[in-house]
Amino acid sequence: MRLSRRKNQMPFGWLSAVFFNILFLITAIVLSLLIYQTRIALGDEFEPTREALAATDEKLGALFADMVPVDADRREFWAAQIDAEIRVDDLISARGFLLAAPDMLNERDAAAVTAAATTDTTGPLDQRMLNAAKLFLPDDVRARYERATGLPDYNPVSSLSEQLRSAPDSEPAVPDEAASQDSAPTEESSTDVNSSAERTSSDSADFYVLGNARDLSFQSAGWVRGDPVDVFALSLSGLGLVARDGLLEGFNPDTGFYEGASLLKAAIRANRLQPEFEALLRTRLENALPPDVLRENLARAFRENSNILIQSDAIFDAFARSTDASELDLIASDLDRIAELSRRRSTVSALTLLGTVTSLRDLKRAELVSMAGGDRAVTLAKHRGDDVLNAAVTIMDWSMKLITLIVIFGVLCLILGWIAVGTLLRSLRYSRY
């Protein structure tokens, strides 16, 4: 009797084992396809799609709502924040709080502000929201805000180049030897002077913060001579200027490269970069423009050219020859993303956002937050620091292929579980005999 049961059990065990292993192999294949399709569905992390922008905007609103104490009068607290920003002349932050009215006010007031903004169909939505929100301010705060924003020099969206041009770098001190050469150029060097002047005069406002050929020559001379020089800023300026002149073969960056370089140099001046992010960018730039190679080439250029301070071509050539073209794409990509932080906002606002970044991942998050929140993102960056970056959201694209693979994987897992449990129960049942 027991022998008969064992004989009946053997085909079942053999068949279930084969069937289980086949299903397990299929499940592994489906799982690999599922992982692949999931990565495709996720796309680039923090990609500014319409869905990601909407979800990020919603999370920014939640951060504003959390700023209001539980036991506080929401309208009074909101108005007090705006008044405080006006009194310290931070009108961008005040504007951000005004735009956050639907998030910070109570439900009734928020609905009224939203209704007023959507009823008026003239002008951009932000401006309509500002006009509606100002109606809920106390009379004195509203009057103070309108007086401040009505000043002739108030321009919340002035371009980066305009703002940087209004506060140029101080002229570097001219060494005695250079001064004597520069003040009394020879006939042979007159052509070089004219060339340098043409180069300098052709510098547009977009490249102003990067300096010009004359600035680059003076600072390069100081570095070679042993003077204290910020090599990071010097390399950034040199790279931007030689790229502008088309001296880097195969490298033709768009305006984002120069805008990002300008904003980065402004951040260095203002000491607004996080140490971790600055170290990362320095490494990227040093890979593209090795300091040892650059200094050697600059020293050779100075030895071979007596009128180097007025003949900038040799300086530009030294920077171009020192550049590793294979490493340019990485730093160029970083500068393009940094440039996005300055689009349609003031330099101060861009620097506030840039000051929250500690990694390349943070830079992508800052870009998404900036695009989704505008001035609201700047306000949150000022008051919540890098917490604002937590609002950035990555949205998954739920395609039919992905959903199908999930369903198939789930069914296979159920079948495998059923076979495993059935085999276990059957084994326990026969073990009694």
Last residue of a domain, one of 157, 181, 198: 157
Per the model's pLDDT, the better-predicted residue between 6 and 116 turns out to be 116
Asked if 141 and 110 touch (Cβ cutoff 8 Å), the reply is: no
Residue-wise pLDDT tens digits, 136-176? 999 999 999 999 988 655 555 544 444 444 443 433 333 33
User: Which of these three, 117, 133, 157, is where a domain ends?
Assistant: 157
Burial readout 73-91 (b: 16 or more C-beta within 10 A, e: otherwise) = ebbeebbebbbebbeeebb
Rounded mean pLDDT of the chain?
Answer: 80
* Domain carrying residue 284: 163-343
pLDDT per residue as tens digits for the range 128-137: 999 999 999 9
Does pLDDT of 192 surpass 90? no
Asked, for residue 389, whether it belongs to a domain, the answer is no
- Indicate if 217 and 277 belong to the same structural domain: yes
Same domain, yes or no: 21 and 136: no
Q: Please indicate, yes or no, if residue 310 is contained in any of the structural domains.
A: yes
Residues 296 and 172 in one domain: yes
pLDDT one-digit tens code per residue, 289-334: 999 999 999 999 888 876 665 567 888 999 999 999 889 989 999 9
Q: Is residue 57 domain-shared with residue 151, that is, in the same domain?
A: yes
- Cα separation, 216 vs 181, in Å, equals 16
Q: What is the pLDDT of residue 84?
A: 96
- Range of weakest confidence among 84-93, 205-214, 273-282, 410-419: 205-214
User: Among 140, 157, 174, where does a domain finish?
Assistant: 157
Same-domain check for residues 314 and 211:
yes
pLDDT at 11: 56
Judgement on whether residues 190 and 313 belong to the same structural domain of the protein: yes
Q: How confident is the model at residue 74 (pLDDT cuts 50, 70, 90)?
A: very high
- For residue 376, being part of any structural domain is answered with no
> b/e string for 31-45 if b means 16 or more Cβ within 10 A?
eeebeebeeeeeeee
Number of structural domains (the chain) is: 3
Taking CA atoms, 423 is separated from 21, 23, 160, 162, 417, in Å, by: 13, 15, 71, 77, 10
pLDDT at 191 over 50: no
Residue 244 has pLDDT above 80, yes or no: yes
pTM, rounded to two decimals = 0.69
| Rounded-to-integer distance, Cα 162 and Cα 295, Å | 32
Number of Cβ atoms within 10 Å of the Cβ of 132: 21
151 plus 101 within the same structural domain: yes
